[in-house]
Amino acid sequence: MTTTNLLTELDIKEHGVIERWRYLQKSKEAKLKSKHSSIDQATLAQQIHDKNLRNKHEQTLSNAYACDQTKHDAIVQLLSNRQEHDRRRLAEDLNVFRAKYQQATDARESDLNLNDITQSINSSCLYFDGEDRNKPDRERKQKNQMTRWIVEQCRQKCLEIEEQRMTDRAYDYNQLAVVDHLKTLEAIQMKRRRQLSNNIKAFNQAEQKQCQRRVRETMEYEDKKQEITNMLTEEILTEKKYLSKFQFSTQHRLLIRPKDMSSSSSTR
């Protein structure tokens, strides 16, 4: 194989590769064109509209949140101003109270930092440490309080005694009512027992009489039955011919016979 032929074959292969690449590029371009041409414009417009609505809704929420935040900031600022005003007013009231009721001349201990030493000495000598300046008033209040306590205790004691007395009286009345009721029940029970005993006694007597009557009737019946049996089984009631003759003489007949045998004798 010559060099010319080799170059020709290489050129052919390269040309084939280039043509194949061009063909692929054209295929891709054709696919892209077909893809762009197949887009649904209505769907795309609807998606754009939905996106705009979402953006508008988010913007509305952001504005509302900003308004609420501004309102809350204003409320916090007002509360802070009110708290500061209350603190200042309380401090002013405290200063007024101290200036009016807590003066240096009313202090129990002497203040060495005072410029007026005489005033300090006088204020320190008003009373000693531990001295009860309100003792009379305190004792009077304690006596009044003790008197009220004693009166209240006496009143409560009287109420308790009266309540206990009423309770005892009610208990006694209840016990008497219970005793009366028990007596009534006992009387009713005794009456019923006597009535039951009388009824049982009367029933037993009637039953005894009835038993005696049945026994008597049974005995009479047995006697009559035995009598009938005896009359039927004895020979005096028989109708045999030889018995109608006298025992000591065969020619002599009995003239007196039972009434039942008269017809049979005459027949014979």
* Assigned domain for 196 exists: no
Q: How many domains are there within the chain?
A: 1
* Contacts of residue 214, Cβ cutoff 8 Å, sequence gap at least 6: none
* Assigned domain for 15 exists: yes
* Assigned domain for 8 exists: yes
Contact yes or no for 89/110 (Cβ under 8 A)? no
pTM: 0.28
* Assigned domain for 100 exists: no
pLDDT given for residue 237 in this prediction: 47
Q: Which segments of the chain have a pLDDT < 50?
A: 1-6, 116-124, 237, 246-248, 252, 254-268
* Assigned domain for 7 exists: yes
Euclidean distance between the first and the last CA atom of the chain, given in angstroms as a whole number:
191
Helices (H) and strands (E) in the chain, counts: 5, 0
Q: How far is CA 68 from CA 57, 65, 75, 82, 94, in A?
A: 16, 5, 10, 21, 39
Q: How far is CA 162 from CA 56, 154, 165, 172, 175, in A?
A: 86, 12, 5, 15, 20
Placement of tokens 């038993």 in the chain: 211
pLDDT given for residue 242 in this prediction: 52
* Assigned domain for 6 exists: yes
**Domain that includes residue 5, residue range:** 1-32
- Cα 252 to Cα 247: distance, rounded to the nearest angstrom: 9
* Assigned domain for 21 exists: yes
